């Protein structure tokens, strides 16, 4: 076990869906032991679920959870972030690292709400972190130490691929890779619905669509895979796939995907603006 790669203990504040995925990804990586992880919840039944599934430390006390933590991850929703930061701010020790996974609270608000002696970063993982295949854009705050960078990168390297970028680029990624798994799963549903429309029964349609996505993803994961080559392997010139692809393009596939991504980015910005406005202290 190479536990030196990821710092310990890691405190995940907010044991919801994303936090559970990260716990699963970290444990399957072999770089983290259950005893290295502290998770906070606000409902004891949820705590019992996480404890029995993963053997992690579960707490209901956020300030206690951050004490001595090598890395603190904020994994609550936007509406809960301000209260959570106010709770932990007095408990944070100089030199600690806090990484916000919130899609819609900006660094400016995070740094204003947390002590200046801690390193603050943002991360935007996606759900494949659960199987070690996440892509996670990372953005450092204005007062981040080299150690904080390294430990944050190590954590997200254990669950897939970390990528450093600007905060503006991270916002764009929220609408591309953060949301992206849902778009892909919706495409699988549409493929199954199309099969059913042609008389395939529901179970077979689901198996065909799902199997096609999983198989295609494995081809894409091969070294040196490129999408033009993979498409050319399927589409015989003048043949059947080509006819289907032409229809996808004629019906505006690229435009539809582009619009979904633009709307998601816009929604991210609007929510971040609303959050920033709520953080302004009245004079």
Ligand X SMILES: O=C(O)[C@@H]1CCC=N1
Q: Where are the extended beta strands (E) located within 36-115? A: 37-40, 57-59, 71-74, 97-100
Residues 169-188 that bind ligand NDP (CB under 6 A): 178
- Using the minimum distance from each CB to ligand NDP, give the nearer residue, 67 or 77: 77
* Block residue for tokens 């690229």: 254
Among 37, 71, 88, 103, binds ligand NDP (CB under 6 A): 103
By the 10 Å C-beta count (0-12 exposed, 13-18 middle, 19+ buried), 233 is classed as exposed
Residues 8-27 that bind ligand NDP (CB under 6 A): 13-19
> Minimum CB separation from ligand NDP for residue 61, in Å?
9
**Piece of the chain touching ligand NDP by CB under 6 A; list 74-82, 91-99, 156-164, 255-263:** 74-82
For the chain, the first-to-last Cα distance in angstroms comes to 53
Element (H, E) at 70: none
Instruction: Indicate the annotated binding residues for NADPH.
Output: 62
- Using the minimum distance from each CB to ligand X, give the nearer residue, 164 or 183: 183
> Minimum CB separation from ligand X for residue 194, in Å?
26
Among 2, 3, 35, 42, binds ligand NDP (CB under 6 A): 42
Q: Where are the alpha helices (DSSP H) in 161-201?
A: 167-173, 180-197
- Report CA dihedral (257, 164, 18, 273) to the nearest 10 degrees: -70
Residues binding ligand X (CB under 6 A): 103, 174, 178-179
Q: What is the Cα–Cα distance from 45 to 77, expressed in whole angstroms?
A: 19
Q: Are 231 and 244 in contact (CB under 8 A)?
A: no
**Which position's Cβ is nearest ligand NDP?**
16
Residues that bind ligand NDP (CB under 6 A): 13-19, 40-43, 46, 62, 75-78, 80, 84, 101-103, 124-127, 178
């Amino acid at each position: 076990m190479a536990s030196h790669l990821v710092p310990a203990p890691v405190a995940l504040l907010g044991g919801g869906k994303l936090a559970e995925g990260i716990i699963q990804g970290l444990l399957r990586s072999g770089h983290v032991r259950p005893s290295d992880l502290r998770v906070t919840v606000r409902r004891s039944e949820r705590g019992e679920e996480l404890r029995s599934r993963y053997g992690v430390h579960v707490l209901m006390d956020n300030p206690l959870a951050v004490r001595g933590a090598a890395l603190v991850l904020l994994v609550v929703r936007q509406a809960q972030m301000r209260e959570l930061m106010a709770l932990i701010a007095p408990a944070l020790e100089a030199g600690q690292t806090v990484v916000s996974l919130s899609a819609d609270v900006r660094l400016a608000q995070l740094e204003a709400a947390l002590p200046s002696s801690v390193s603050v970063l943002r991360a935007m993982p996606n759900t494949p972190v659960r199987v070690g295949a996440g892509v996670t854009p990372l953005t450092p705050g204005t007062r981040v130490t080299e150690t904080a960078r390294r430990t944050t990168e190590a954590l997200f390297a254990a669950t897939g691929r970390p990528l450093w970028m600007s905060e503006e680029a991270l916002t764009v990624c929220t609408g591309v890779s953060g949301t992206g798994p849902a778009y892909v799963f919706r495409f699988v549903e549409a493929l199954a619905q199309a099969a059913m429309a042609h008389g395939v029964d529901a179970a077979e349609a689901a198996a065909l669509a799902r199997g096609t996505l999983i198989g295609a993803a494995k081809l894409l994961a091969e070294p040196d895979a490129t999408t033009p080559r993979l498409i050319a392997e399927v589409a015989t010139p003048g043949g059947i796939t080509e006819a289907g692809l032409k229809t996808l393009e004629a019906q505006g596939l690229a435009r539809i995907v582009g619009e979904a991504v633009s709307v998601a980015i816009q929604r991210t910005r609007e929510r971040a603006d609303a959050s920033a406005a709520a953080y302004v202290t009245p004079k």
